[in-house]
Amino acid sequence: MSLAISGPIAAQDSYQTEATHAVIMDFETGQILFEKNGDEPMPPASMSKLMTVLMVFEAIENGTISLNDELPVSENAWRRGGAASGSSTMFLEVNSRARVEDLLRGIMIQSGNDACIVIAEALGGTEAAFAEMMNDRALELGLENSSFANSTGWPHPDHRVSARDLATIARIMMNNHPDLYPIWAEREFTYNGIRQYNRNPLLGVFDGADGLKTGHTEESGYGLVGTAIRDDERRIIVFNGMTSNNARANEAERMMRAALSDFSVYHLFAADDPVEESAPVFMGETEMVALRVGEDISIGLHRRARRGLTVTAIYDGPIMAPINEGDQIGTLLVEAPGIEAQEYPLLADETVERKGLMGRIGAALVHMLRGGN
């Protein structure tokens, strides 16, 4: 039974990107509005620092550390992530101590590898042990396409994160830690007399942008996890594999503009909404039963693809009694251009008892007279 078919099928290439990997996520629902290789593990470069920061946020929340704690800067952290490393650094001094709050800004604004290693050694003992903690937490969070080998995003064959997982980490961070999240929007941070600026190309350029993190290595190309809010709608974008800093900045604006203007979330059914109000019943005390869904159902689409959206209830009817409320009777199939078909259980909305013996005999006779098999 088809519930909604409207207009011709829209083109599946309504939005395209030169990025090798990309995801657009709706913040409120977690719906993926667009993806290109979104579940393929990729080298994330410094974008994986989102997971390091999330681990710090959670450690602060559970009391393991506080913003005012001062952590030691080891020679390892200084040599591999500090000024001596030639990589992104907060310019921590070897054998000094730094406040957790400063270290967070060093990671979130300056992308300091030294700050990441200091945090990792404080929480895990070693960076390798901290990476295992990251992997354990990733499993708990349902990040199915992530594996962490370090705290920094430094190239490693076992360090891979999908674009969808990065968007999920960002969404968790915004939902669970609204008090600390705003640090991502800060435009600059000065530490040890050295001022550094936030590299996020959306900040101060795209209205409503307030996070999150860039990434770049030769292996990964140029990438970004970004977010912005407009008219109470927030989107998260993730992309990777751009060829230059300018290309990343241009794609960041283009993708975020599309995310907020060209894509929408369509709410199809609320949990327990009836989908089919009169599915026929055979041998039941009543001749019809309503079918419903058991969860909220929404779908994210490019606005042009809305015309090709179809929703179909699939079940074998008439349905043989007895039927218990909540029994799965069939499947609700949701299809639209450019997305994988999605299926949801169709449930009986009420109990239907089986007819008594005489009623069953009568129903069988009627069925035979009508030419039933």
pLDDT tens digits, residue range 99-143?
Answer: 999 999 999 999 999 999 999 999 999 999 999 999 999 999 999
pLDDT of res. 369: 52
Q: Is residue 109 part of a domain?
A: yes
- How do beta strands 319-320 and 274-282 pair? parallel
Residues 216, 47: Cα–Cα separation, whole Å = 8
pLDDT of res. 357: 52
pLDDT of res. 12: 40
pLDDT of res. 287: 86
Domain range for 122 is 40-199
Angle between helices 113-124 and 100-108 (to 10 degrees): 130
Residue 370 reports pLDDT greater than 60: no
Residues 167, 8: Cα–Cα separation, whole Å = 32
Q: Is residue 159 part of a domain?
A: yes
pLDDT of res. 4: 37
Q: What is the tally of structural domains in the chain?
A: 2
Where does a domain end: 199, 232, 256?
199
pLDDT of res. 282: 85
Side-chain-side CA neighbours of 31 within 13 Å: the count stands at 22
One domain, residues 189 and 315? no
Confidence category of residue 168, pLDDT binned at 50, 70, 90: very high
One domain, residues 185 and 105? yes
Q: Is residue 229 part of a domain?
A: no
One domain, residues 156 and 292? no
**Among 66-75, 122-131, 145-154, 349-358, which stretch is predicted with the lowest mean pLDDT?**
349-358
Residues 181, 174: Cα–Cα separation, whole Å = 6
Q: How far is CA 44 from the centre of its chain?
A: 15
One domain, residues 273 and 164? no
Tokens of 104: 């967070």
Please tell me whether residue 279 adopts helix, strand or coil conformation: strand
One domain, residues 284 and 195? no
One domain, residues 73 and 153? yes
pLDDT of res. 11: 34
One domain, residues 78 and 187? yes
Q: Is residue 254 part of a domain?
A: no
One domain, residues 294 and 152? no
- Kindly report the three-state secondary structure assignment for every residue of 168-231: HHHHHHHHHCCCCHHHHHCCEEEECCEEEECCCCCCCCCCCEEEEEEEEECCCEEEEEEEEEEC
20-39: string of b/e by CB count within 10 Å (b at 16+)? bbbbbbbbeebbbbbbbbbe
The pLDDT mean for the chain works out to 90
pLDDT of res. 359: 47
- Give the residues across from 35 on adjacent strands: 23
Where does a domain end: 167, 183, 199?
199
**Among 176-190, 235-249, 286-300, which stretch is predicted with the lowest mean pLDDT?**
286-300
pLDDT tens, 10-48?
A: 334 578 999 999 999 999 999 999 999 999 999 999 999
One domain, residues 187 and 294? no
Q: Is residue 1 part of a domain?
A: no
Q: Is residue 206 part of a domain?
A: no
pLDDT of res. 7: 31
- Is the Cβ–Cβ distance between 312 and 1 less than 8 Å? yes
Residues 53, 42: Cα–Cα separation, whole Å = 19
Q: Is residue 221 part of a domain?
A: no
CA-wise closest residue to 211 among 89, 47, 37:
47
Specify the CATH number for the domain of residue 82.
Answer: 3.40.710.10
Q: In Å, how far are 79, 116, 363 from 108, measured between CA atoms?
A: 20, 10, 71
- Is the Cβ–Cβ distance between 236 and 167 less than 8 Å? yes
One domain, residues 152 and 300? no
Residues 129, 222: Cα–Cα separation, whole Å = 28
Burial class from Cβ neighbours inside 10 Å (0-12, 13-18, 19+) for residue 247 reads middle
Q: Is residue 217 part of a domain?
A: no
Above pLDDT 70, what percent of the chain?
91
pLDDT of res. 43: 98
Length of the chain in terms of residues written: 373
Specify the CATH number for the domain of residue 337.
Answer: 2.60.410.10
Residues 101, 356: Cα–Cα separation, whole Å = 73
Residues 275, 5: Cα–Cα separation, whole Å = 15
pTM exceeds 0.75, yes or no: yes
pLDDT tens, 243-292?
A: 999 999 999 999 999 999 999 999 899 988 888 888 888 877 888 888 99
One domain, residues 176 and 278? no
Where does a domain end: 145, 179, 199?
199
Confidence category of residue 334, pLDDT binned at 50, 70, 90: very high
pLDDT of res. 364: 52
One domain, residues 178 and 314? no
